[in-house]
Amino acid sequence: MPTNYTNLKKNVRTILLQIKAQREEIKSLTRQKYSYLVEVQKKFSIPFACVVFALLGAPVGILARRGGYLTALAISLLFFILYWAFLIGGEELADRGKANPVLAMWFPNIVVGTIALYFNYHLMYERTPIRWIDYITRLRFFKRLYAKGEQCE
C-alpha cells in the first residue's frame, strides 16, 4: 500500500508541474499575441498621425502669428509629447493585455485629432480656440507684468 501511495503522490506532483508549465506557456503565447496585435495596429496608426498633425498645423500656425515662433514651438512640442505619451502608454498597456490593442494604438490619434478639429472649428469662425489664455491675460497680476514690460521698452 505505501508504494502505491508514493507512486500516486509522484504522479500528482508531475501532473501539477505539467499544468503549471502549460499555464506559463499559455501566458507567454498570450503576451506574444498581444504584442503582434499592437505592432499591426501601430503600423497603421502612426502613419495616420501625419494626417492628424497636418490638421493641427494650420491652427498652430495662425496662433504662432499672434504669439510668435516660440508659441508655435511650445504648442507643437506640447502636442507631440502628448501624442508620444499616449502612444507609449497605450503600447505598454496593450502589450500586457490590460487594454484593447486597437483602442490603445488609435487613442493618441483620436485625442490629438479631436483637439485639431476643435482648433480648426474655432479657426473657421475666427474665435480664439483657447479662451483660458484670454482670461489669464485679463488678470491683474498679468496686466501689471505687461505694463512693466511696456515701460522697459
The Cα–Cα gap between 117 and 56 comes to 8
The Cα–Cα gap between 137 and 140 comes to 8
3-state secondary structure of 125: coil
Confidence of residue 22 (pLDDT cuts 50, 70, 90): very high
pLDDT per position as a tens digit, 37-53: 999 999 999 999 999 99
Question: Alpha-carbon torsion 26, 28, 32, 35, what sign?
Answer: positive
User: How confident is the model over 119-131, as a mean pLDDT?
Assistant: 75
Look at residue 74 in the predicted model and tell me its pLDDT: 83
- 64 CB-near residues (< 8 Å, 6+ apart): 71, 72, 75
